[in-house]
Amino acid sequence: MKIQERSFGGVFFRPRPEIFLDSSNLLIVATPWGLRKTATEAIQIIADYYLSANDDGELTSPFGKLSCLNTTLNNLRTSVLLANETLYQRVNSHEYRSGLELFVCSLVSKELQWVQVGHPQLFLFRDCTTPVPLGSSIDFSLELSSETKLLPPLPRDLIGVDTSANLILNSFRPRKSDKIALLSRSTVPVSFFNCPGNLDSISQVLSSDDADLPFWLGLIEF
């Protein structure tokens, strides 16, 4: 698994994420809304727990394990909850200072399994089909903007700002030729669903649609 990325800065602000990808096919995309160091701290917490749990199948989970999830998803869930609790206690327990949008995935036995909090959204690019949404998230700017004025990006779901977090867990078995686009953008234009699945084409479509609207784009290949 590998990832390419690109950022586009419009007139509004959208933070660029910190990216982590290791040889075990663990990918973390952490977008900091506030203190940038919280992204690197969360990545360290998540990677340390997840990789330790993979090495030690008897490692105790501080949040218990859910019987409806397999081992990989349980470990991903626990690592994100641990990062959420740690950041809340260290950074936000007295006043809100920083939160993270988060995407964490692992490719195990040809199955991509992930935990998502907020953006990025996920779209499957497969030959001879239009892009298929695999995981979506709506930010507040889309909900609160008027018909004539688009508000700056404003995240709806974050980790680290409360003792609990709204986690979305899912999995998908990609084909070798599949690509998965990770997109952090307030809106997705219709033209996005007609463009080829490569970084340059998708970036061109998004920037041409609205030059004021910033985005971050990642493209996972297998």
151: tokens are 């508000």
Which H or E run includes 171?
A: strand 168-172
What's the average model confidence in pLDDT over 98-107?
Answer: 98
pTM greater than 0.85 (yes/no): yes
pLDDT tens by residue, 109-118: 999 999 999 9
Residue 174: other Cβ atoms inside 10 A: 19
Q: How many domains does the chain have?
A: 1
Per cent of the chain over pLDDT 90 is: 83
pLDDT at residue 31 is higher than 80: yes
Q: Which amino acid is at 187?
A: T
- The residue range of the domain holding 159 is 2-221
Q: Which residue spans within 45-160 are E strands per DSSP? A: 99-108, 111-117, 121-125, 132-135
CATH of the domain at 162: 3.60.40.10
pLDDT bucket at 143, cuts 50 / 70 / 90 = confident
What's the average model confidence in pLDDT over 165-191?
Answer: 96
